[in-house]
Structure 1
């Protein structure tokens, strides 16, 4: 039995923690994040920065680091390394900028890596809603930006995590001011929520259409370099946390050198997959466009479904987040269509309890 996605009241009844409403209000969240970050006191760096290392895990912190890497691909002259484990790489030293991101402030991997980073003499700045990370930053005299806690699900709080990193890098003198890009993005959120919101009927709502098409399939997301690798990663993570579905992603052109051979798997198996191809008529190069055309053409008759979705917006940040925003709605409607609340993460909580034993 599936749920009628034209019934907005039913959608909101199933979504007991209001994640769809929270997503509809990304424009407010991102605006608040700008205000918080602009009020945060950070001085320009005098010395050399060899790399920006982001300590964080999960669908909020680490993915935000991926967005930063993609967005600033051809501007930031230091590499961005997203470090998701307990330990830091040996190259972290006094010439490293370390951004420590844990929404709860209690992520054990991040706290472990933070302790190691402090001992290196690296430049460290933290972003958190509190917890042990806040306490340790106060003890170690490390600058710490406090953001709203919400309900403790950082995938809903991507604005509070990503936006401060952008503004902090500007304050440190590492990138140009991105205020106009951020304002344009907020305007775009205001437009797109009128297309993807719960009250918008199926026939006019691309997010609901894709959620219904995915039913009974395994989602596969193909992004591309240089700007849509992290966006595909976000979709994959959101299918896991929001939709309670195993999802997979890969990146063009890389996948054409290995994974593509797997397209010759038995028809009974490949038909279980539903491909979502992330496309951008402005940012994708001619070579990437051709590779995506060929990929979609080959897979359309092989997989259970192929849907190509296109970026929108008047700058790179807006175009990236136009597809992130669509993905967030798709992955929220996907479980609701099956009558499942998208917000609880019971398996993650179970794992944390077992780790604490």
Structure 2
């Protein structure tokens, strides 16, 4: 697999190398926000959850491409949330979770065994349960049997390509519980921001003006270390790392400032930061990718600036990207969308089909035996 950047502007290649349509799926993000909002309203999420009162805590269960919906909810609610919001990627509910708590089970397929296990435990413990996933799925069956609320979102393809279908109902629910400020106008602004990003990153837009292709070219032939400068930017950093893994089959490291300044930054002095200018072929070396947010702690801003200077002093290439928008959900959406495009273009630049996840499929087959 060789990196050939000219592939990114070859429209025939972009179409033929993406038979399952990951690029069109990313471009559908705006429609997914609108559909997710409408489906949540039709499922009467706000009214049904309000009848249970405000919970003591919220646990969001999910794995893989569905799990980040819980990270998005926690980051949008932020430090001002009057209760803890815990994303959970596991088979087991924590021992303290009980009847006073809300468990949100998210699964694009509606069949992830970890999420089904947690949803079943939530019902047994008397928790309030909200399910979000495919219609007619095992997860919907659990919710229906427990007389719980379920949002049947029309997921197609891979769960990671349906992020906003899965995440939007969670924000609607949180707004109904007065944990976040979000209404129809906000979701429409988010959808329009995603439409704008889709236009800027469209396949017919050439690499030198296309932010998605430009980021892919930065990432190619490097080992990316992706840092977020706030809670929401760190969610986008994690999402980008996961998308690089699953779309481009590519390694990546992610983290959040200031924590990364206590460990990952030392890699600037390691073997992957070294460059041999006399080598016949360029080796894969470290690249720092900083996802910036307008709402940074002042000390984090100082650390970010100093960290970038430190990388530059050691000839570690740096890419800085800044979130766009006013509301936290808007800002997160712009960073996530750009990363989704970049990871897909990186795959196509290597002539890798971004949709299949053969290693995951094989693993599931092995553990089911």
The 8 Å contact of residues 246 and 354 in structure 2, kept in 1 or not, is answered as yes
1:123, 1:326 → 2: CA distance? 35
| Structure 2 partner of 1:239 | 244
2:273, 2:54 → 1: CA distance? 55
1:263 aligned to which of 236, 253, 268: 268
2:34 aligned to which of 31, 34, 37: 31
TM-score (norm 2): 0.91
| Structure 1 partner of 2:287 | 274
The 8 Å contact of residues 51 and 80 in structure 1, kept in 2 or not, is answered as yes
| Structure 1 partner of 2:183 | 178
| Structure 2 partner of 1:86 | 91
Instruction: Go from structure 1 to structure 2 and tell me whether the alpha carbon gap of 1:45 and 1:287 turns closer, same or farther (over 3 Å shift).
Output: farther
2:272, 2:166 → 1: CA distance? 42
Q: CA-to-partner distance for each residue in 1:272-307, whole Å, 9 max, x for gaps?
A: 222210012x21233222211111111124365210
1:125 aligned to 2:134? Answer: no
Q: Which runs of 4+ in 1 moved over 4 A?
A: 267-271
**Partner-residue secondary structure (3-state), 1:276:** strand
- Structure 2 unpaired stretches of 5+: 276-283
Q: CA deviation at 1:215?
A: 1.8
1:137 aligned to which of 127, 133, 143: 143
Instruction: Go from structure 1 to structure 2 and tell me whether the alpha carbon gap of 1:269 and 1:96 turns closer, same or farther (over 3 Å shift).
Output: farther
Aligned length: 354
| Structure 2 partner of 1:355 | 367
TM-score (norm 1): 0.94
- Structure 1 unpaired stretches of 5+: none
| Structure 1 partner of 2:220 | 215
The 8 Å contact of residues 231 and 256 in structure 2, kept in 1 or not, is answered as no
Instruction: Go from structure 1 to structure 2 and tell me whether the alpha carbon gap of 1:303 and 1:214 turns closer, same or farther (over 3 Å shift).
Output: farther
2:160 aligned to which of 155, 158, 167: 155
1:229, 1:173 → 2: CA distance? 24
- CA root-mean-square deviation: 1.8
The 8 Å contact of residues 217 and 274 in structure 1, kept in 2 or not, is answered as yes
The 8 Å contact of residues 234 and 291 in structure 2, kept in 1 or not, is answered as no
Q: Which stretch shifts more, 194-203 or 310-319?
A: 310-319
1:48, 1:312 → 2: CA distance? 32
**Partner-residue secondary structure (3-state), 1:260:** helix
Q: CA deviation at 1:268?
A: 5.7
1:345 aligned to 2:345? Answer: no
Q: Which stretch shifts more, 283-292 or 204-213?
A: 283-292
| Structure 2 partner of 1:332 | 344
| Structure 1 partner of 2:278 | none
Q: CA-to-partner distance for each residue in 1:121-169, whole Å, 9 max, x for gaps?
A: 1111101104211222222222211111312x11100111110011122
1:95 aligned to 2:108? Answer: no
